[in-house]
Amino acid sequence: MILRTDVPAPSWTGRDDGPGREHLRWHGAVTPWPDDPAPRTPVLIGFRSDEGVRRNRGRPGAADGPAALRAGLASLAVPPSGPSTVYDAGDVVVSGGDLEGAQRRLGAAVTALLDHGHPVTILGGGHEVAYGTYLGIAGSAAVRDGARCGVLNLDAHFDLRSDATPSSGTPFLQMARAEKSRGRDLRYAVVGIAQPSNTSALFTTASELGVRYLLDDECRIAHLPDVETFVGEFLATVDLVHLTVDLDVLPAAIAPGVSAPAAYGVPLEVVQHVCDLVARSGRLAVAEVAELNPAFDIDNRTARTAARLVHRIVTGRPPGAP
């Protein structure tokens, strides 16, 4: 299998406590994409883009997110149940403002990986990464053969803007229109919507598209059983899950390094629990973490939080899951 990205995987370094599985950390498990990859090995891909954020009049800087995420992951300890090998396929890079071309390249890479049985985790990048990921899942053999795919978004925003120019605010409306052109409805659910950050027009669009959502007010720790029910009902309707985490769903005190920090946000415990539920479901095909902007981070807390979520997602998948 030949897999092409724009930039090769960087070197991984970190704390080293000695040889052996009992001392394994991420930097010891990660290896560049090989010529002869082992089946079902998890794969990371970076998406270096803040073009969508720029178009959406946000704070640029998310193109540096993949590097910060790798640095946050490097010294995390791999649990006994986690993979002993993770492939890093390098980065897809937006250059010269060509967001659409980079999304297509990311989609081609995701399709190739899924068709060869690899679980995929994408390190963003602005939330425009989600449409590139969608192109990859939509083109996969499983979906072409009739598998039902759904998108579960942890986000303060619907990202259903109808702007003429695609951006970080439009990916899910783009998906809905693409699915409609294929004679399907988009299965889309959101956890963490902030009412003050979404206009009435966006709520109307969500209603017209049949989007299910929980407001951030409904995502307190005390409401965890209701969140679990919401996620369980979504999982029951799909065969494959595209899990997308926009870090601005978290409180600004936890995730200051994003384009649009949250004044309220969803507690990290709830966000992590949702990721755990999806990872353990056996339905997770692709996960992505988006909107990490190191230029606005404080003491690397957003990068560390994002790395922990990626860690939980990758190590929480059951063996043999997609």
Tens-digit pLDDT profile for residues 62-117: 999 999 999 999 999 999 999 999 999 999 999 999 999 999 999 999 999 999 99
Q: Where are the alpha helices (DSSP H) in 116-223?
A: 129-138, 141-144, 171-181, 200-208
Contact between 36 and 24 (Cβ < 8 Å): no
- If you average pLDDT over residues 147-173, what whole number do you get? 97
Residue 321: pLDDT band with limits 50, 70, 90? low
- Altogether, the residues listed in the chain come to a count of 322
What pLDDT, on the 0 to 100 scale, is given for residue 95?
94
Residue 320: pLDDT band with limits 50, 70, 90? low
Task: Judge whether residue 1 has pLDDT over 90.
Answer: no
The average confidence (pLDDT) of the chain is: 96
Burial 313-322 (b: 16+ CB within 10 A, else e): bbbbbeeebb
What pLDDT, on the 0 to 100 scale, is given for residue 2?
80
What pLDDT, on the 0 to 100 scale, is given for residue 317?
84
Burial 16-36 (b: 16+ CB within 10 A, else e): eeeeeeeebbbbbbbeebeee
- If you average pLDDT over residues 184-196, what whole number do you get? 97
What pLDDT, on the 0 to 100 scale, is given for residue 322?
66
- If you average pLDDT over residues 26-32, what whole number do you get? 97
Residue 132's φ and ψ, nearest 5 degrees, are: -60, -45
Residues 6+ apart with CB under 8 A from 307: 69, 72, 73, 76
Task: Judge whether residue 286 has pLDDT over 70.
Answer: yes
Give the span between the Cα atoms of 224 and 227, in whole angstroms: 5
Task: Judge whether residue 155 has pLDDT over 80.
Answer: yes
Fold of 21-316: Arginase; Chain A (3.40.800)
Give the span between the Cα atoms of 160 and 173, in whole angstroms: 5
